[in-house]
Amino acid sequence: MDNAIVQAVADHAETMLGKEGYRYISAVVVNCKILAAELEEREEDISTLDIDALVIAAYLHNISTAEYGFLDHHLKSAEMAVEFLRKLAAPVNCITKVEQIILTHTSADALSKQESIPFEGRILYDADKLGRLSGLAVVTSLIEFGARYPNRAVNAEILAAILRHIEERFIDLYQSLNTVPAHDMAKEKFGNTLAFLDGVIEHLSDATPV
């Protein structure tokens, strides 16, 4: 793959998503490379892995979100990625593979449908979710709740219920990871986050309203 194409893709992602969005995307790209390297080190059969398509898809998988939001973003992002790669005159097989990866990277059924999901799509799924299994993601979830219900009064009981829901989401997310390296990478953060949530929920059981 021409390095100029990869660089153009990275630059385009930064332009479309802004610095904050691009910082997250860059972390996903790094996670993809780490997971691929870990799989190779574990002597997994990754001979068919298209690392160039994986990296390009990682840069472009959220490209539509700044304008269209996250609802079904894989569909619009795949469409926009294909359009941009065609302008770059990228190889047709690469464009097709990138489209497939982006279209499948949000699937929570990856474990049960592995034959129908490209290997690269399963890696991107894991790489994308690793950043959502930390304490910072708890703060983000609470901010999202506040933005969605700005006028709702919150007491200790309601806050504990919110945190229990977040905890359930974290557990489901961790269990949905496809690869052993992803589980290993997430294990410590995941354990620390659960311990934090359990401690806060326990404290709130005796807390005064907030």
- For residues 37-74, one letter each, b for 16 or more C-beta atoms within 10 angstroms of the residue's C-beta and e for the rest, the string is ebbeeeeeebeebbebbbbbbbbbbbbbbeeeeeeebb
pLDDT in tens, 118-161: 889 999 999 999 978 777 777 777 877 777 788 888 888 888 88
pLDDT for res 62: 94
Give backbone dihedrals phi and psi of 91, rounded to 5 degrees, phi first. -55, 140
CATH topology for 3-130 is: Hypothetical protein af1432 (1.10.3210)
pTM for the whole structure: 0.83
Residues in the chain: 210
Sequence ranges of the domains in the chain = 3-130, 135-204
Q: Residue range 165-180: average pLDDT?
A: 90
Residue 188, C-beta contacts closer than 8 angstroms, at least 6 positions apart: none
Mean pLDDT over the full length of the chain: 87
pLDDT for res 111: 47
Q: Which amino acid is at 50?
A: D
| Confidence at 114, pLDDT banded by 50, 70, 90 | low
